[in-house]
A = this chain, B = another copy of it.
Amino acid sequence: MPRKLSTLDPQRLDNQICFAVYSAAHAFNRVYKPLLDRLGLTYPQYLVMLVLWERDDVPVKDIGERLFLDSGTLTPLLKRLEAAHLVKRTRSSEDERQVLIALTPQGHALKEKARSVPPSILAASDCSVSELVAMKDEIVALRDRLNAVIGE
């Protein structure tokens, strides 16, 4: 007989908050896909564009800190965005170690086309804005606590 009731079993899949988060992330990805296809972006590329729409001409490292991604992920992704003529990569003249990422005119223009994305996601969430904001804040707080123990 099992040591614990399954609803309390810490090794049960449905009791894992990590799986809830993992599977929700994939569900978001699938909802975003058709919307982003029309923009010619993948979801991680869309996140990079959100960062750059707030402020561009920033080094790769800044984007990485914002999105919790490293150069192994960002370098090839940014090269693809450059190949799509959405960004320009130029080595900084003040510090030759840095590569600055700037939006092209097309990159700036895409922000307008992307304006319909968040409302579509909101609709798919089938949830009030205030509920979503509350959930977001809780999830961000959890994420930050997890990230805090990574260097323990």
**How far does the alpha carbon of A77 sit from the alpha carbon of B130 in the complex, in Å?**
39
Q: A25-B25, A146-B31 are in contact. Are A10 and B127 (CB under 8 A)?
A: no
Judge whether B18 and A22 touch: CB under 8 Å.
no
Copies in the complex: 2
CA of A139 to CA of B140, assembled, Å: 13
With both beta carbons as reference points, the residue of chain B lying nearest to A138 in the complex is identified as B135
The binding surface of chain A is classed by DSSP as: helix
Offer 17 A-B interface pairs, CB within 8 angstroms, sorted by A. A10-B122, A11-B114, A18-B25, A20-B135, A20-B136, A21-B21, A24-B146, A27-B147, A28-B146, A30-B150, A31-B146, A31-B150, A124-B145, A124-B146, A124-B149, A125-B146, A135-B138
Contact surface of A with B, Cβ cutoff 8 Å: 10-13, 15-28, 30-32, 43, 47, 50-51, 53-54, 66-68, 111, 114-115, 118-119, 121-122, 124-127, 132-133, 135-136, 138-140, 142-143, 145-150
